[in-house]
A and B are shown apart, each in its own frame.
Chain A
Protein backbone atom coordinates (compact mmCIF):
# COMPACT_ATOMS: atom_id res chain seq x y z
CA UNK A 1 0.00 0.00 0.00
CA UNK A 2 1.44 3.36 -0.97
CA UNK A 3 1.82 5.97 1.71
CA UNK A 4 -0.79 8.72 1.59
CA UNK A 5 0.63 11.96 0.26
CA UNK A 6 1.15 14.52 3.00
CA UNK A 7 -0.80 17.75 2.75
CA UNK A 8 1.29 20.88 2.31
CA UNK A 9 0.53 23.54 4.92
CA UNK A 10 1.82 27.11 4.66
CA UNK A 11 1.48 29.67 7.45
CA UNK A 12 2.28 33.35 7.89
CA UNK A 13 1.78 36.22 10.30
CA UNK A 14 0.82 39.52 8.65
CA UNK A 15 -0.26 42.38 10.95
CA UNK A 16 -0.34 40.02 13.92
CA UNK A 17 1.76 39.45 17.01
CA UNK A 18 2.66 35.78 16.39
CA UNK A 19 0.41 34.93 19.34
CA UNK A 20 -1.72 32.74 17.08
CA UNK A 21 1.38 30.87 15.92
CA UNK A 22 2.36 30.40 19.56
CA UNK A 23 -1.12 29.04 20.19
CA UNK A 24 -0.70 26.72 17.19
CA UNK A 25 2.41 25.33 18.93
CA UNK A 26 0.22 24.85 22.00
CA UNK A 27 -1.20 21.74 20.38
CA UNK A 28 2.01 20.36 21.95
CA UNK A 29 2.77 16.70 21.28
CA UNK A 30 -0.16 16.53 18.86
CA UNK A 31 2.28 18.25 16.47
CA UNK A 32 3.85 14.81 15.97
CA UNK A 33 0.50 13.33 14.99
CA UNK A 34 -0.12 16.30 12.73
CA UNK A 35 3.25 15.84 11.05
CA UNK A 36 2.23 12.32 10.05
CA UNK A 37 -0.40 13.95 7.84
CA UNK A 38 1.09 17.27 6.80
CA UNK A 39 4.36 18.92 5.91
CA UNK A 40 5.07 22.60 6.38
CA UNK A 41 5.74 24.69 3.31
CA UNK A 42 6.27 28.47 3.59
CA UNK A 43 6.05 29.25 7.29
CA UNK A 44 7.96 31.01 10.06
CA UNK A 45 8.53 27.46 11.35
CA UNK A 46 10.51 26.45 8.23
CA UNK A 47 11.80 29.85 7.11
CA UNK A 48 10.83 28.93 3.53
CA UNK A 49 10.32 32.31 1.84
CA UNK A 50 7.67 31.56 -0.78
CA UNK A 51 4.72 29.21 -1.16
CA UNK A 52 5.01 26.16 -3.39
CA UNK A 53 2.36 26.35 -6.10
CA UNK A 54 0.60 23.24 -4.77
CA UNK A 55 -0.08 24.07 -1.12
CA UNK A 56 -3.20 22.47 0.28
CA UNK A 57 -3.83 24.67 3.29
CA UNK A 58 -2.71 28.24 4.00
CA UNK A 59 -3.10 29.62 7.51
CA UNK A 60 -3.03 33.40 7.88
CA UNK A 61 -2.54 35.21 11.14
CA UNK A 62 -2.97 38.99 11.31
CA UNK A 63 -4.73 41.59 9.20
CA UNK A 64 -3.44 43.88 6.48
CA UNK A 65 -1.62 47.00 7.66
CA UNK A 66 0.82 47.55 4.81
CA UNK A 67 1.37 46.84 1.12
CA UNK A 68 3.62 43.84 1.76
CA UNK A 69 0.87 42.16 3.81
CA UNK A 70 -1.40 42.38 0.75
CA UNK A 71 1.26 40.86 -1.54
CA UNK A 72 1.87 37.97 0.87
CA UNK A 73 -1.86 37.35 1.27
CA UNK A 74 -2.32 37.24 -2.51
CA UNK A 75 0.60 34.81 -2.84
CA UNK A 76 -1.10 32.54 -0.29
CA UNK A 77 -4.48 32.75 -2.04
CA UNK A 78 -2.86 31.96 -5.37
CA UNK A 79 -0.98 28.91 -4.09
CA UNK A 80 -3.23 27.40 -1.42
CA UNK A 81 -6.36 25.41 -2.13
CA UNK A 82 -7.85 26.24 1.27
CA UNK A 83 -7.19 29.50 3.09
CA UNK A 84 -7.84 29.84 6.81
CA UNK A 85 -8.02 33.12 8.74
CA UNK A 86 -6.56 32.44 12.17
CA UNK A 87 -7.32 34.82 15.04
CA UNK A 88 -9.04 38.13 15.68
CA UNK A 89 -6.66 40.33 13.64
CA UNK A 90 -7.08 38.30 10.45
CA UNK A 91 -10.84 38.24 10.98
CA UNK A 92 -11.64 41.84 11.96
CA UNK A 93 -8.33 43.71 12.02
CA UNK A 94 -7.98 43.28 15.77
CA UNK A 95 -5.71 45.49 17.83
CA UNK A 96 -3.87 47.09 14.87
CA UNK A 97 -7.25 48.16 13.43
CA UNK A 98 -7.85 50.33 16.46
CA UNK A 99 -5.85 52.98 14.62
CA UNK A 100 -8.48 53.05 11.88
CA UNK A 101 -10.39 56.09 13.12
CA UNK A 102 -7.21 58.19 13.05
CA UNK A 103 -5.70 59.66 9.87
CA UNK A 104 -2.41 57.90 9.04
CA UNK A 105 -0.58 61.25 8.84
CA UNK A 106 -1.63 62.10 12.38
CA UNK A 107 -0.33 58.76 13.63
CA UNK A 108 3.04 59.06 11.86
CA UNK A 109 3.40 62.67 13.05
CA UNK A 110 2.73 61.64 16.63
CA UNK A 111 4.96 58.57 16.57
CA UNK A 112 7.92 60.18 14.83
CA UNK A 113 7.63 63.94 15.41
CA UNK A 114 5.57 65.18 18.30
CA UNK A 115 5.98 62.51 20.99
CA UNK A 116 8.19 63.63 23.89
CA UNK A 117 11.90 63.05 23.25
CA UNK A 118 11.53 62.85 19.48
CA UNK A 119 12.83 66.29 18.52
CA UNK A 120 14.04 66.36 14.89
CA UNK A 121 12.71 62.86 14.33
CA UNK A 122 11.92 61.85 10.77
CA UNK A 123 9.27 59.60 9.31
CA UNK A 124 11.11 56.54 7.93
CA UNK A 125 11.08 56.58 4.14
CA UNK A 126 13.54 53.86 3.14
CA UNK A 127 12.28 52.33 -0.13
CA UNK A 128 12.66 48.85 1.40
CA UNK A 129 10.00 49.62 3.99
CA UNK A 130 6.51 48.57 2.92
CA UNK A 131 4.07 51.46 2.80
CA UNK A 132 1.41 51.47 5.50
CA UNK A 133 -2.20 51.29 4.34
CA UNK A 134 -4.55 54.11 5.31
CA UNK A 135 -6.54 51.64 7.39
CA UNK A 136 -5.94 48.13 8.67
CA UNK A 137 -8.20 45.62 6.92
CA UNK A 138 -9.37 42.11 7.76
CA UNK A 139 -8.13 39.65 5.15
CA UNK A 140 -11.60 38.61 3.92
CA UNK A 141 -11.99 42.13 2.54
CA UNK A 142 -9.21 41.41 0.00
CA UNK A 143 -9.28 37.69 -0.89
CA UNK A 144 -11.74 34.85 -0.43
CA UNK A 145 -11.26 33.08 2.88
CA UNK A 146 -12.55 29.53 3.23
CA UNK A 147 -12.51 29.06 7.00
CA UNK A 148 -12.15 31.19 10.10
CA UNK A 149 -10.77 30.33 13.54
CA UNK A 150 -11.77 33.21 15.84
CA UNK A 151 -9.98 34.02 19.09
CA UNK A 152 -7.23 36.22 20.48
CA UNK A 153 -5.56 33.85 20.13
CA UNK A 154 -7.70 30.83 19.25
CA UNK A 155 -6.84 28.03 21.68
CA UNK A 156 -4.53 25.24 20.56
CA UNK A 157 -7.57 22.98 20.89
CA UNK A 158 -9.60 25.16 18.50
CA UNK A 159 -6.80 25.14 15.92
CA UNK A 160 -6.40 21.38 16.35
CA UNK A 161 -10.15 20.86 15.91
CA UNK A 162 -10.28 22.81 12.65
CA UNK A 163 -7.19 21.10 11.20
CA UNK A 164 -8.27 17.61 12.19
CA UNK A 165 -11.79 18.21 10.85
CA UNK A 166 -10.26 19.32 7.55
CA UNK A 167 -7.89 16.34 7.47
CA UNK A 168 -10.89 14.09 8.04
CA UNK A 169 -12.65 15.74 5.10
CA UNK A 170 -15.29 17.34 7.32
CA UNK A 171 -16.60 20.90 7.56
CA UNK A 172 -14.72 22.34 10.56
CA UNK A 173 -17.00 23.08 13.48
CA UNK A 174 -16.17 24.77 16.78
CA UNK A 175 -18.79 24.28 19.45
CA UNK A 176 -19.29 26.09 22.74
CA UNK A 177 -16.01 26.30 24.62
CA UNK A 178 -13.83 26.38 21.50
CA UNK A 179 -15.63 29.30 19.84
CA UNK A 180 -14.23 32.49 21.36
CA UNK A 181 -13.72 35.99 20.00
CA UNK A 182 -11.58 36.98 22.99
Chain B
Protein backbone atom coordinates (compact mmCIF):
# COMPACT_ATOMS: atom_id res chain seq x y z
CA UNK B 1 0.00 0.00 0.00
CA UNK B 2 1.41 3.39 -0.95
CA UNK B 3 2.22 5.81 1.82
CA UNK B 4 0.20 8.81 0.69
CA UNK B 5 -2.90 10.68 1.73
CA UNK B 6 -4.67 13.61 0.14
CA UNK B 7 -4.73 17.11 1.62
CA UNK B 8 -7.25 19.40 -0.06
CA UNK B 9 -6.96 17.12 -3.06
CA UNK B 10 -3.17 17.19 -3.22
CA UNK B 11 -1.32 13.87 -2.83
CA UNK B 12 1.02 14.03 0.19
CA UNK B 13 3.62 11.32 0.78
CA UNK B 14 4.50 10.36 4.34
CA UNK B 15 6.73 8.01 6.25
CA UNK B 16 5.55 5.66 8.99
CA UNK B 17 4.90 7.53 12.23
CA UNK B 18 4.66 11.03 10.73
CA UNK B 19 1.75 13.19 11.79
CA UNK B 20 -0.40 14.94 9.21
CA UNK B 21 1.20 18.31 9.89
CA UNK B 22 4.73 16.86 9.64
CA UNK B 23 3.98 15.25 6.29
CA UNK B 24 2.24 18.41 5.03
CA UNK B 25 5.13 20.58 6.13
CA UNK B 26 7.65 18.28 4.42
CA UNK B 27 5.57 18.58 1.26
CA UNK B 28 5.57 22.38 1.55
CA UNK B 29 1.91 22.71 2.50
CA UNK B 30 1.12 25.13 5.33
CA UNK B 31 -1.37 24.22 8.04
CA UNK B 32 -1.94 27.08 10.56
CA UNK B 33 -0.64 26.26 14.05
CA UNK B 34 0.58 27.95 17.23
CA UNK B 35 1.47 25.34 19.88
CA UNK B 36 3.05 22.97 17.38
CA UNK B 37 6.80 23.25 16.78
CA UNK B 38 8.66 20.75 14.61
CA UNK B 39 11.40 20.28 17.19
CA UNK B 40 9.09 19.37 20.05
CA UNK B 41 6.62 16.68 21.00
CA UNK B 42 3.16 17.84 19.98
CA UNK B 43 0.98 19.42 22.65
CA UNK B 44 -2.30 19.43 20.72
CA UNK B 45 -3.79 22.28 22.72
CA UNK B 46 -4.23 25.34 20.51
CA UNK B 47 -6.39 23.48 17.95
CA UNK B 48 -5.42 25.92 15.20
CA UNK B 49 -4.07 22.98 13.17
CA UNK B 50 -7.44 21.24 13.23
CA UNK B 51 -8.28 19.57 9.94
CA UNK B 52 -11.03 17.23 8.86
CA UNK B 53 -9.89 13.66 8.34
CA UNK B 54 -12.46 11.61 6.46
CA UNK B 55 -15.03 14.19 7.57
CA UNK B 56 -14.10 14.30 11.26
CA UNK B 57 -12.29 17.10 13.11
CA UNK B 58 -8.88 16.28 14.52
CA UNK B 59 -5.64 18.06 15.43
CA UNK B 60 -3.19 17.50 12.58
CA UNK B 61 -0.21 17.78 14.97
CA UNK B 62 -1.25 14.68 16.93
CA UNK B 63 -2.97 12.58 14.25
CA UNK B 64 -0.66 10.12 12.54
CA UNK B 65 -0.91 10.04 8.78
CA UNK B 66 -2.42 6.87 7.35
CA UNK B 67 -2.67 5.61 3.77
CA UNK B 68 -5.64 6.93 1.84
CA UNK B 69 -6.78 9.51 4.40
CA UNK B 70 -8.83 12.31 2.90
CA UNK B 71 -7.79 15.48 4.73
CA UNK B 72 -9.39 18.93 4.37
CA UNK B 73 -7.61 22.02 5.66
CA UNK B 74 -8.01 25.22 3.66
CA UNK B 75 -11.80 25.23 3.57
CA UNK B 76 -14.10 28.11 4.40
CA UNK B 77 -15.58 26.14 7.29
CA UNK B 78 -12.31 25.13 8.95
CA UNK B 79 -10.73 28.56 8.51
CA UNK B 80 -13.79 30.19 10.08
CA UNK B 81 -13.31 27.93 13.12
CA UNK B 82 -9.58 28.74 13.22
CA UNK B 83 -10.40 32.44 12.98
CA UNK B 84 -12.81 32.17 15.93
CA UNK B 85 -10.13 30.39 18.01
CA UNK B 86 -7.63 33.11 17.13
CA UNK B 87 -10.12 35.83 18.05
CA UNK B 88 -10.63 34.17 21.42
CA UNK B 89 -6.87 34.17 22.02
CA UNK B 90 -6.78 37.88 21.22
CA UNK B 91 -9.59 38.85 23.62
CA UNK B 92 -8.43 36.59 26.47
CA UNK B 93 -5.07 38.34 26.74
CA UNK B 94 -3.89 41.90 26.22
CA UNK B 95 -2.64 41.93 22.65
CA UNK B 96 -1.87 45.53 21.72
CA UNK B 97 0.21 45.05 18.60
CA UNK B 98 1.25 48.70 18.10
CA UNK B 99 3.13 48.71 21.42
CA UNK B 100 4.48 45.15 21.26
CA UNK B 101 8.13 44.54 20.43
CA UNK B 102 7.20 41.25 18.77
CA UNK B 103 4.84 42.84 16.24
CA UNK B 104 5.77 41.72 12.73
CA UNK B 105 7.61 38.70 14.13
CA UNK B 106 4.62 37.32 16.00
CA UNK B 107 3.06 34.03 14.95
CA UNK B 108 -0.28 34.86 16.55
CA UNK B 109 -0.48 38.11 14.58
CA UNK B 110 0.76 36.51 11.36
CA UNK B 111 -1.72 33.67 11.75
CA UNK B 112 -4.52 36.19 12.28
CA UNK B 113 -3.45 37.94 9.06
CA UNK B 114 -3.42 34.60 7.26
CA UNK B 115 -6.95 33.88 8.48
CA UNK B 116 -8.18 37.35 7.50
CA UNK B 117 -9.08 38.30 11.07
CA UNK B 118 -10.38 41.85 10.67
CA UNK B 119 -11.57 42.29 14.26
CA UNK B 120 -11.49 40.46 17.60
CA UNK B 121 -15.29 40.00 17.30
CA UNK B 122 -15.76 38.97 20.95
CA UNK B 123 -15.82 41.17 24.05
CA UNK B 124 -12.38 41.75 25.52
CA UNK B 125 -11.42 40.36 28.94
CA UNK B 126 -8.74 43.02 29.55
CA UNK B 127 -7.14 40.79 32.21
CA UNK B 128 -4.78 42.22 34.79
CA UNK B 129 -1.47 40.41 34.33
CA UNK B 130 1.94 41.24 35.68
CA UNK B 131 5.20 41.84 33.88
CA UNK B 132 8.39 40.21 35.21
CA UNK B 133 11.41 42.41 34.52
CA UNK B 134 13.57 40.82 37.24
CA UNK B 135 15.96 39.00 34.91
CA UNK B 136 18.89 41.12 33.65
CA UNK B 137 18.59 39.96 30.05
CA UNK B 138 15.00 38.87 29.50
CA UNK B 139 11.60 40.46 30.04
CA UNK B 140 8.48 38.38 30.59
CA UNK B 141 5.21 40.04 29.56
CA UNK B 142 2.46 37.63 30.57
CA UNK B 143 -0.20 39.83 28.96
CA UNK B 144 0.52 38.15 25.65
CA UNK B 145 0.75 34.51 26.73
CA UNK B 146 -1.39 32.12 24.67
CA UNK B 147 -0.47 29.05 26.75
CA UNK B 148 1.17 27.19 23.88
CA UNK B 149 3.59 25.68 26.43
CA UNK B 150 6.54 25.84 24.01
CA UNK B 151 8.74 27.50 26.66
CA UNK B 152 7.64 24.86 29.18
CA UNK B 153 8.59 22.05 26.80
CA UNK B 154 11.84 23.70 25.69
CA UNK B 155 13.04 24.39 29.22
CA UNK B 156 12.07 20.95 30.50
CA UNK B 157 12.96 18.75 27.53
CA UNK B 158 15.91 20.57 25.92
CA UNK B 159 17.47 22.83 28.55
CA UNK B 160 16.82 20.38 31.41
CA UNK B 161 15.89 23.29 33.68
CA UNK B 162 12.13 23.24 34.03
CA UNK B 163 11.94 27.02 34.43
CA UNK B 164 8.35 27.42 33.22
CA UNK B 165 5.06 25.69 33.97
CA UNK B 166 1.36 25.98 33.27
CA UNK B 167 -0.64 26.35 36.46
CA UNK B 168 -4.37 26.43 37.17
CA UNK B 169 -7.15 24.89 35.11
CA UNK B 170 -9.54 25.90 32.34
CA UNK B 171 -9.91 29.66 31.89
CA UNK B 172 -7.66 30.17 34.93
CA UNK B 173 -4.69 28.42 33.32
CA UNK B 174 -1.63 30.66 33.37
CA UNK B 175 2.11 30.56 32.80
CA UNK B 176 4.28 30.53 35.91
CA UNK B 177 8.00 30.65 36.65
CA UNK B 178 9.18 27.77 38.79
CA UNK B 179 10.88 29.69 41.57
CA UNK B 180 9.80 30.23 45.15
CA UNK B 181 9.56 33.97 44.46
CA UNK B 182 7.95 33.36 41.06
CA UNK B 183 10.59 35.64 39.55
CA UNK B 184 12.67 34.73 36.52
CA UNK B 185 15.79 36.21 38.15
CA UNK B 186 15.58 33.50 40.81
CA UNK B 187 15.92 30.66 38.28
CA UNK B 188 18.93 29.47 36.29
CA UNK B 189 17.24 30.67 33.07
CA UNK B 190 19.69 32.04 30.52
CA UNK B 191 19.42 33.84 27.21
CA UNK B 192 21.22 30.88 25.59
CA UNK B 193 18.38 28.54 26.60
CA UNK B 194 16.17 27.00 23.93
CA UNK B 195 13.25 28.31 26.00
CA UNK B 196 14.41 31.85 25.25
CA UNK B 197 14.01 31.25 21.51
CA UNK B 198 10.64 29.56 21.10
CA UNK B 199 7.95 31.99 22.25
CA UNK B 200 5.63 32.50 19.25
CA UNK B 201 4.27 35.73 20.75
CA UNK B 202 5.74 38.62 22.74
CA UNK B 203 6.04 37.08 26.22
CA UNK B 204 9.74 36.14 26.36
CA UNK B 205 11.63 39.18 25.06
CA UNK B 206 15.33 39.89 24.95
CA UNK B 207 15.97 43.19 26.70
CA UNK B 208 17.54 46.17 24.93
CA UNK B 209 16.54 44.78 21.53
CA UNK B 210 13.14 46.40 21.17
CA UNK B 211 12.66 47.99 17.81
CA UNK B 212 16.21 47.37 16.44
CA UNK B 213 14.49 46.09 13.32
CA UNK B 214 11.78 48.65 12.48
CA UNK B 215 8.11 47.78 12.19
CA UNK B 216 7.39 47.13 8.53
CA UNK B 217 10.70 45.32 7.88
CA UNK B 218 10.13 42.26 10.01
CA UNK B 219 9.70 38.60 9.21
CA UNK B 220 5.99 38.53 8.47
CA UNK B 221 6.07 42.01 6.91
CA UNK B 222 8.29 40.47 4.21
CA UNK B 223 6.12 37.43 3.50
CA UNK B 224 2.97 35.87 4.92
CA UNK B 225 3.35 33.07 7.45
CA UNK B 226 2.14 30.51 4.92
CA UNK B 227 5.27 31.20 2.85
CA UNK B 228 7.89 31.46 5.60
CA UNK B 229 9.97 28.68 7.11
CA UNK B 230 8.37 26.93 10.02
CA UNK B 231 8.25 28.28 13.54
CA UNK B 232 11.77 29.66 13.65
CA UNK B 233 12.42 32.57 15.94
CA UNK B 234 11.75 35.71 13.94
CA UNK B 235 13.88 38.18 15.82
Contact = CB atoms under 8 A, between A and B. Distances in A.
Interface string B189-226: 00000000000000000000000000100000001100
Interface string B30-53: 000000000000000000000000
B95 interface: yes
Contact of A138 (B95, B118, B120, B215): B120
A140 B128 CA distance: 22
B113 A145 contact: no
Contacts of A152: 97-98
Contacts of A137: 124
B109 interface: yes
A145 B119 contact: yes
A24 B53 CA distance: 46
B99 to A, nearest CB: 7
Interface string A39-79: 00000000000000000000000000000000000000000
Contact of A91 (B109, B119, B126, B129): B119
Contacts of A147: 118
Interface string A142-182: 00010110101000000000000000000001101001011
A97 B223 CA distance: 30
B113 A176 contact: yes
Contact of B97 (A88, A100, A101, A135): A88
B215 A92 contact: no
A101 B131 CA distance: 13
A110 interface: no
Nearest to A173: B116
B132 to A, nearest CB: 16
Contact of B120 (A91, A101, A182): A91
B14 interface: no
B127 interface: yes
Contact of B96 (A94, A148, A176): A94
Interface in A71-104: 85, 88, 91-95, 97-98, 100-101
B10 interface: no
A101 B99 CA distance: 16
Contacts of B62: none
A93 B118 contact: no
A141 interface: yes
Nearest to A90: B119
Interface of B: 90, 94-100, 103-104, 109, 112-113, 116, 118-121, 123-124, 126-129, 215, 223-224
28 contacts: A85-B119, A88-B96, A92-B90, A92-B95, A92-B119, A92-B124, A93-B124, A94-B98, A97-B126, A98-B96, A100-B126, A101-B94, A101-B127, A101-B129, A137-B124, A138-B120, A140-B119, A140-B121, A141-B123, A150-B119, A152-B97, A173-B116, A174-B118, A176-B113, A179-B116, A181-B113, A182-B109, A182-B215
Interface of A: 85, 88, 91-95, 97-98, 100-101, 135, 137-138, 140-141, 145, 147-148, 150, 152, 173-174, 176, 179, 181-182
